[in-house]
Amino acid sequence: MVISIASGKGGTGKTTIATSLALSLGEVQFLDCDVEEPNAYIFLKPHLTKRISVGIPVPKVDELKCTFCRKCAEVCEFNAIVVIKKKVLIFPELCHGCGGCSYICPEKAIKEVERSIGVIEKGTSGKIDFVHGVLNVGEPMAPPLIRQVKQCITNKYKSVIIDASPGTSCPVVEAVKGSDFCLLVTEPTPFGLNDLTLAVEMLKKLTIPCGVVINCADIGDDEVPKYCEREGIPILMTIPWDRRIAAAYSTGIPLVEAFPEYRNRFSQLYENILERVR
């Protein structure tokens, strides 16, 4: 079973929930798909054993074969290749790696070379199999790296936990796509509710069932529970605001380690999800 953790709004506690769920279950695979700002390693402190460079294929033109017919530039939807007189200009950071230019070139003058966009690091944290992607600083395109991180999913484990980035656009869609269940972590504030609503809409479009975790449950107002009731979305866990929880988080201590009484609640949360997926 693949469970993804998403939120819409940032900073609501995705990584707290994802890491504590993994630690409570023990033998799981954990994928940090927030490749722009991967933080789960701070809490899981994995022993990293493998580092793989990830790239996307970008065109390289053999100017001896090229007749400057411009077909490559015409086919490229992303303006990543431009032909000016007897010169082909390539803008690798605009290239999506679709292979259109090399496919269309009548002279077979374009081959593809790999451009690095980030790395995947793998390791273990106790019984947890840990994988995360780290996007290169300055690199705009996260989804191809997220796709590669998800390629690491094995069926050796009964469960896979995916930590997604905030928001509702392509990186989040890429991370949660194909999950059996998505946990949406929110806080009971106007911002939390607005972004939760957007995340729920996204999951509807992807036809992924979801449940909500309300973090800092005693701040703000009661609009989030009301919304969940109206929409028939189960609230699977609530966590109060507690300065001690915030302090533990700030030093990289996972919730279930600072407060072991939460371990049982996370196991129950998992059982609850399992039942809903069945």
Partner 1 sequence: MKQFTVISGKGGTGKTTIAAALATISDSHVLADCDVDAADLHLILDPTVDKSEEFHGGKTACINTEKCTQCDECIKRCRFDAIQNYTVDAISCEGCGVCVHACPQGAISMQRHVSGQWFISHTRAGYMVHAKLGIAEENSGKLVTLVRQQAKLIAEKEHKHYVIIDGPPGIGCPVIAAITGVDLLLAVTEPTLSGIHDLERVVGVAQHFNVPVMVCVNKYDINPLNASKIEEFCGKNGMEIAGKIPYDKNVTKAMVNKKSVIEYPCGAVTEEVTRVWGKMSQRLKNL
Q: How far is the CB of 201 from partner 1 (least distance, A)?
A: 5
Which of 81-89, 151-159, 171-179, 266-274 is the region at the interface with partner 1 (rule: CB under 8 A)?
Answer: 171-179
Site string for partner 1, 210-229 (x = CB under 8 A): ---------xxx--------
As given in the structure block, the two tokens for residue 135 are 């996007």
Q: How far is the CB of 90 from partner 1 (least distance, A)?
A: 16
User: Strand, coil or helix: what is 200?
Assistant: helix
**Beta carbon nearer to partner 1, 9 or 265:** 9
**Beta carbon nearer to partner 1, 159 or 254:** 254
- Residue 45: CA count within 13 A, CB half-sphere: 6
Among 152, 198, 235, 274, binds partner 1 (CB under 8 A): 198
- Residues 219-278 binding partner 1 (CB under 8 A) are 219-221, 243, 246-247, 249-252
Q: How far is the CB of 223 from partner 1 (least distance, A)?
A: 9
Q: How far is the CB of 222 from partner 1 (least distance, A)?
A: 10
- Residues 49-108 binding partner 1 (CB under 8 A) are 75, 77-78, 96-100, 103-104
113 contributes a contact to partner 1 by CB under 8 A: no
Among 11, 26, 240, 260, binds partner 1 (CB under 8 A): 11
DSSP letters, the chain, are -EEEEE-BSTTSSHHHHHHHHHHHH-S-EEEE---SS--HHHHH--EEEEEEEEEEEEEEE-TTT-----HHHHH-TT--EEEETTEEEE-GGG-----HHHHH-TT--EEEEEEEEEEEEEEEETTEEEEEEEEPTT----HHHHHHHHHT--TTSS-EEEEPPSBSSHHHHHHHTT-SEEEEEE-SSHHHHHHHHHHHHHHHHHT--EEEEEESTTSS-SHHHHHHHHHT--EEEEE---HHHHHHHHTT--HHHH-TTHHHHHHHHHHHHHHHH-
**Beta carbon nearer to partner 1, 48 or 274:** 48
Site string for partner 1, 140-159 (x = CB under 8 A): xxx-----------------
What is the contact surface with partner 1 in residues (CB under 8 A)?
A: 7-12, 15, 34, 36-37, 39, 42, 75, 77-78, 96-100, 103-104, 135, 137-142, 165-173, 177, 189-191, 194-195, 198, 201-202, 205-206, 219-221, 243, 246-247, 249-252
